[in-house]
Amino acid sequence: MAAGRTVAVLAALGVLSVCSASGSGPLAEVEAGGEAEWAEPWDGAVFRPPSALGAVGVAHSPGSQQPGREGAVDLPVLLWWSPGLFPHFPGDSERIECARGACVASRDRRVRGDSRTRALLFYGTDFRASAAPLPRLAHQSWALLHEESPLNNFLLSHAPGIRLFNLTATFSRHSDYPLPLQWLPGTAYLRRAALPLQERAEWRRRGYAPLLYLQSHCDVPADRDRYVRELMRYIPVDSYGKCLHNRELPTPRLQDTATATTEDPELLAFLSRYKFHLALENAICDDYMTEKLWRPMHLGAVPVYRGSPSVRDWMPNNHSIILINDFESPQKLAEFIDFLDKNDEEYMKYLAYKQPGGITNQFLLDSLRHREWGVNDPLLPNYLNGFECFVCDHELARLDAEKAHAASPGDTPVPKPHIAQPSHMNCPVPTPGFGNVEEIPENDRHITAFLRLGRLDSTSALLLGAILNSEITNKTQK
């Protein structure tokens, strides 16, 4: 994984040990409903790379007593095979305290063959079948953290790829450690007040479009740029990113913005003046929802969305986004946006979730309430540390089951391995943004993207098959 991507992931997670984080954070005064009010963390602290924490310590759950180092030599070891995402600093190994007991987390690959090393943890973006640590050892689980879309590693969207792993943490609700709401801090984030319509009307009178597009990652398999290009024929769209660029951001500093994911306060204030934001994911997968969806809702704009087919399950109410797939053509979508733009009463129905009691989706509320990790929340582990403890608890349970079988083989069966399933990614074969594949010119890069994501190339298929059919893997799965 590129260094820049590593820093971005760690910084966005605010990675520290699971242990007792303290100090100021994004949560301010507690509201009457019991949830802390969202305060913008725009001092930049949550986006800086983490600093060294001093001597190697012991990571522990909030509120637990910090244990000593006795017995660490007998603990199961979790080896981060993707060392750039090791969530402890500055050393190479650290004891972690989890719900079921303790483990040692390490990024030192020299312990890979040790009998105590019970799990290898991989980051999906930089996993390559050709570089997999073979032979696969029979006593070890493979755990996958992959919160990104297939664009980052298309092999994992195919059954042979995902079934290489025993445990998963992905965007899918069906994964072992689900991360579908990784970009949503909480309901207070959604309830941030929108700009008054009068201010937005003045913005329009100054010549700005009703619809904003801010995207600098162009020509992705979701085929979003072709759709937006067609939509522009029927309604004005201000496009500020590298893709379909037709307008400049208001200041030179903002014009240097590298991606659409920046959280600069000046940029957010600018974006909040638009009534509609085009929110198109780079790939289409169930439960894959990013800041492209949640940020417009935070700012009080209506997302015009194409992405997760299951997105309705997660919305604050049943009238909060415009789904591109609900319209037979870009022209029909443009007509509907124009209608809402000219009818304030109808438009404001899409922002009703910002009012008291406006978030009515109990599934969303329950999912936020019961998840074991937080987004920039000092009271909860981030999902990276949380997944690490999930793997630790799984390995401790597996050790207990193996010991029970050894003590009484006639009465206690051998524990069956847990194997990841395609539903842990759940990404259908890509389709064109509009029209059909035959209408795309032969020299269009999307054709390559569709084929690349839609099927395994022969070399990758052979490599995956070799791993799955290797003698040691068969032993692991028996």
Give the model confidence (pLDDT) of 142-174 as tens digits: 999 999 998 888 889 889 999 999 999 999 999
Q: Which residues of 344-355 are buried (b: 16+ CB within 10 A; e: fewer)?
A: eeebeebbebbe
Q: Taking the CB of residue 363, how many other CB atoms lie within 10 A of it?
A: 11
Partners of 6 in the beta sheet?
none
Question: Do 427 and 341 reside in the same domain of the chain?
Answer: no
User: What domain count does the chain have?
Assistant: 2
Question: Is residue 402 situated within a structural domain?
Answer: yes
Strand, coil or helix: 150: coil
Look up the domain containing 194 and give its range: 187-367
Distance, in Å, from the CA atom of 275 to the CA atom of 300, rounded to the nearest integer, reads 8
- CATH number of domain containing 288: 3.40.50.11660
Question: Is residue 80 situated within a structural domain?
Answer: yes
Question: Is residue 260 situated within a structural domain?
Answer: yes
Report the candidate in 131, 122, 135 with the shortest Cα–Cα distance to residue 162: 122
Check: CB of residue 213 under 8 Å from CB of residue 239: yes
pLDDT per residue as tens digits for the range 73-90: 789 999 999 988 899 988
Report the candidate in 13, 250, 248, 311 with the shortest Cα–Cα distance to residue 145: 13
Question: Is residue 48 situated within a structural domain?
Answer: no
Question: Do 306 and 201 reside in the same domain of the chain?
Answer: yes
pLDDT per residue as tens digits for the range 441-455: 666 655 555 545 555
In this model, does residue 33 exceed pLDDT 60? no
End-of-domain residue from the set 367, 394, 412: 367
pLDDT per residue as tens digits for the range 178-221: 999 999 999 999 999 999 999 999 999 999 999 999 998 898 87
Among 129-143, 183-197, 243-257, where is mean pLDDT lowest?
243-257
Question: Do 130 and 151 reside in the same domain of the chain?
Answer: yes
In this model, does residue 4 exceed pLDDT 60? no
Question: Is residue 89 situated within a structural domain?
Answer: yes
pLDDT band at 31 (very low <50, low <70, confident <90, very high): very low
